[in-house]
Amino acid sequence: MTRLSQVGLPQFLAILALLAGAAVALPGIANPGIVFLAGLAVIEIVIALAFNFLFSTVGILSFGQAAFILVGAYGGAAAIKFAGLSLLPALLVAGLVAGLLALAIGVVALRRVEGVYFAVLTLAFASLAYLTVGKVAVLGREDGLTGITRPAVDLGIVEIPVVATTSFYYFIVAVGVVLTAVMWFATNSQFGRVLRAIRQDQERAGFLGVNVQGYRLAAFVLAGAVTGIAGALLGPWTQIVTPDLGHWIQSTKPILQAMLGGAGFFWGPVVGAILFAVLTYATRTLVGITEIVTGGLLLAIVLAIPGGLLGLTGSLLRMIRRERSR
Amino acid sequence: MVFDILAVVVNALTWAMATFLVAAGLTLMFGVLHILNFAHGGFLMLGAYVVFAVARSLGGELSFAGYLAFSVVAGLGVAVLGLVVDIVVFRRLRGVDNAYVLIATYALLLLVEGVVKHIWGAGSHLVSPPEVLIGAFFFGPIVIPYYSVFVIAAGVAVLFALEWFLHHSSPGKLVQAVAIDPWMATLLSVNVERIYSITIVIGFGLAGLAGGILAANQGLNPQLGGISIIQAFGAIIVGGMGSVRGAFLAAILLGLVDSFGTMLVPDFPGIFFYVALAAMLLVRPKGLIGAEVTR
């Protein structure tokens, strides 16, 4: 379970192209309601990837990722609504704000508290952000910011309008692809290998001259910024941001998705987020069944198949191969 | 002004004891098994809904004795569930990384929330307190609701009961021994697995009992489990994980900080709890009583 799948670059690009292709093909075959949910799912995939980067590569359990979704969403929405920025600068602002928040939390907390204490501390910080944002008049208190527009994507030479729902969906997919690539490189580059060394043994990594706290902080800030950028997509997509984006349910969702798919695999959170979206959609009319199914599945996975769905598929494939080679 | 402050103190103490009732079982389980049980709030909520269901089927009104009796029944029922959870979940996760256990208990919370939503619906319900607890008396110019007195008394009673159990009964002393050193306890022929089960059953029982007692404290809805667990996490972390007395003191401290904070800065209710929690964790990460041992 501690092994991150060592897929090479070609394999990564192939899978990414396949997923992106499926996402791009979706509006042609599905109704607008499903396309809307798919856009949300792409955003959740990025958030779950960032969580799992922290959990599986760095060895940090954060129960407060909602804080970064929240400040990213509000940062992006405010940049569009109040500053009139175009889309890409707005995403940058969101990443910056969320990254700074991660830096602040990381500087005070990462060094001092470990494991479960860190999890609860991040939960406290996220709740603080959630309650504070809900009381600020400029940010619309409990009602949030409404009527967030979808400004054009300004690439310098050309301006691409993304006001139509389908165009903005493609924009979400494009940003999702870029951020997924960022997380993959962070995981599989030398940076990621140092982080894994730290996770396995902080003390030994320190003896080898690695700046342990610096690397952990950098990873925490990167995950926070990526989560914030993903969160910033929510405002223009749903046209509203509310304090509920910072509710602790939003922090536990990526955990759930990563575990469902398989936290030990780079693609685990992606599989988990898609499965979660399908489950939520399939059980949407049955009150309480969503929680029973997801809770039950999560429990079954932690108890029986700690590798998640990808881990289960992997061991099934190995079993089949062994049978054949007999 | 003085009377305002006294009223705030009464308020803070009520909040503190409600929080301690939730935290008591939680900190006991953490001290012995090192499990931070997210599902504790869920099982508390289940206890509250049981009392609600009984009250509704009996026509809405329970006498004081009935209310207490059914709270105990809720506690016993949840304690039995605790045994089931121990066998099905916790036993299989002994020795597994703490992060996974935390996630498993979160899954349990989701499951309980789903069951509650499925049976009783996603909306809110109200449990009316027994008639003798409705109303308030005047202590000088301060209004003290009877229900507050009841909650405070229940909190203090649970503290004394747990303290007596841990320090003066022989199973309680075994629980302490296992909390301090399970390996040594095994050598002394203590059945550690059984002590673990007993602790879990007591912890869950306390959750169910607290749920019953607090059923009329607020409206019942499926979010109750998540809300109460975060407040209790705060109390047990500030108090020092695993310390019952610590949780008691921390609940009072957090209650006072939050109530006075809200009095001074009324625009931001509820925020000072998290400020105090974060500050406390940073200054003393191991809490007021800084050892992970049940004392």
pLDDT, tens only, B203-254: 999 999 999 999 988 889 888 888 888 889 889 888 887 889 999 999 999 9
Query: Of A144, A160, A157, which is closest to residue A87 (Cα–Cα)?
Result: A160
- d(CA A302, nearest CA chain B) in Å: 6
Report the distance separating Cα A223 and Cα A219, nearest Å. Answer: 6
- Is A85 among the domain residues? yes
Report the distance separating Cα B33 and Cα B10, nearest Å. Answer: 34
Mean of the per-residue pLDDT values of chain A: 89
Return the residue in A125, A127, A290, A291 with the most chain B beta carbons within 10 A, the one to mutate for interface testing. Answer: A291
Given a cut of 90, is residue B274 above it in pLDDT? no
The pLDDT score that the predictor gives to residue B294 is 46
Distances in whole angstroms, Cα of residue B220 to Cα of each of A1, A278, A291, B70, B217:
40, 30, 18, 17, 9
CATH hierarchy code of domain B2-283:
1.10.3470
Q: Give the total number of structural domains in chain A.
A: 1
Residue of A nearest to B36 (CA): A116
Q: Are B209 and B74 in contact (CB under 8 A)?
A: yes
Q: Are A245 and A69 in contact (CB under 8 A)?
A: yes
| pLDDT tier, A6 (very low <50, low <70, confident <90, very high otherwise) | low
The sign of the dihedral angle between the CA atoms of A134, A138, A143, A149 is: negative
Mean of the per-residue pLDDT values of chain B: 88
- Is A4 among the domain residues? no
The pLDDT score that the predictor gives to residue A51 is 97
Q: DSSP 3-state helix, strand, coil percentages of chain A (rounded to 5)?
A: 75, 0, 25
The residues on B that touch A, with CB distances below 8 Å, are 36, 88-89, 92-93, 96, 98-100, 102-104, 106-119, 121-122, 222, 226, 230, 233-234, 237, 267-268, 270-271, 274-275, 277-278, 281-282, 285
- Is A2 among the domain residues? no
The pLDDT score that the predictor gives to residue B290 is 56
Say how many Å lie between the first and final Cα of chain A, rounded.
Answer: 27
Exposure string of A150-180, with b = 16+ CB inside 10 Å and e = fewer, is: bbbbeeeeeeeebeeeebbbbbbbbbbbebb
- Is A97 among the domain residues? yes
Given a cut of 50, is residue A2 above it in pLDDT? no
Q: What is the ipTM of this complex?
A: 0.81
Q: Are A89 and A247 in contact (CB under 8 A)?
A: no
The percentage of chain A sitting over the pLDDT mark of 90, rounded to a whole number, equals 55
Report the distance separating Cα A297 and Cα A172, nearest Å. Answer: 29
Given a cut of 60, is residue A158 above it in pLDDT? yes
- Is A295 among the domain residues? no
- Computed over its alpha carbons, how large is the radius of gyration of chain B? 19
Lowest mean pLDDT among A10-14, B31-35, B51-55, B160-164: B31-35
- Is A285 among the domain residues? no
Containing structural domain, residue A79? 9-244
In angstroms, how far is CA B19 from the centroid of its own chain? 6
Query: Of A17, A35, A312, which is closest to residue A169 (Cα–Cα)?
Result: A35
Q: Test A128 with B267 for CB contact under 8 angstroms.
A: no
The pLDDT score that the predictor gives to residue B241 is 76
Given a cut of 80, is residue B116 above it in pLDDT? yes
Three-state secondary structure string covering A232-273? HHHHHHHCEECHHHHCHHHHHHHHHHHHHHCCCCCCHHHHHH
Report the distance separating Cα A265 and Cα A6, nearest Å. Answer: 9
Q: What is the mean pLDDT of residues A241-264?
A: 89
The pLDDT score that the predictor gives to residue B103 is 82
Given a cut of 50, is residue A192 above it in pLDDT? yes
Q: Are B191 and B69 in contact (CB under 8 A)?
A: no
